[in-house]
Amino acid sequence: MKPMLRTAALFALLFGLFALIGYAIGGGSVVTLGVFLFLAGIMNLVVYLYSDRIVLANYRAKIISEAENPRLFRIVARVASDSGIPMPRVAIVPMNVPNAFATGRNKSRAVVCVTKPLLDNLDDDEIEGVIAHEMAHIRDRDTLVMTIAATVAGAIAIFVRMAYWNVLFGGRDRRNDGSAIIVVIAAITAPIAAAMIQMAISRTREFKADREGALATGKPWALASALKKLELANGRTQIKNGNPASASLFIVNPFKGSALVKLFSTHPPTEERIQRLNELSETMGGPAVRL
Selecting among 66, 126, 128, 134, the annotated active-site residue is 134
Residues 6+ apart with CB under 8 A from 5: none
Q: What is the 3-state secondary structure (H, E, C) of the chain?
A: CCHHHHHHHHHHHHHHHHHHHHHHHCCCCHHHHHHHHHHHHHHHHHHHHHHHHHHHHHCCCEECCHHHCHHHHHHHHHHHHHHCCCCCEEEEECCCCCCEEEECCCHHHCEEEEEHHHHHHCCHHHHHHHHHHHHHHHHCCHHHHHHHHHHHHHHHHHHHHHHHHHHHHCCHHHHHCHHHHHHHHHHHHHHHHHHHHHHHHHHHHHHHHHHHHHHHHCCHHHHHHHHHHHHHHHHHCCCCCCCHHHHHHECCCCCCCCHHHHHCCCCCCHHHHHHHHHHHHHHCCCCCCCC
Active site residue 128: no
Q: How far apart are CA 149 and CA 25, in angstroms?
A: 22
Give CA–CA dist 53/253, Å, rounded.
Answer: 21
The length of the chain, given as a count of residues: 291
CA distance 194 to 63: 32
Identify which of 4, 39, 8 has the alpha carbon closest to the alpha carbon of residue 23. Answer: 39
Annotated catalytic residues are 134
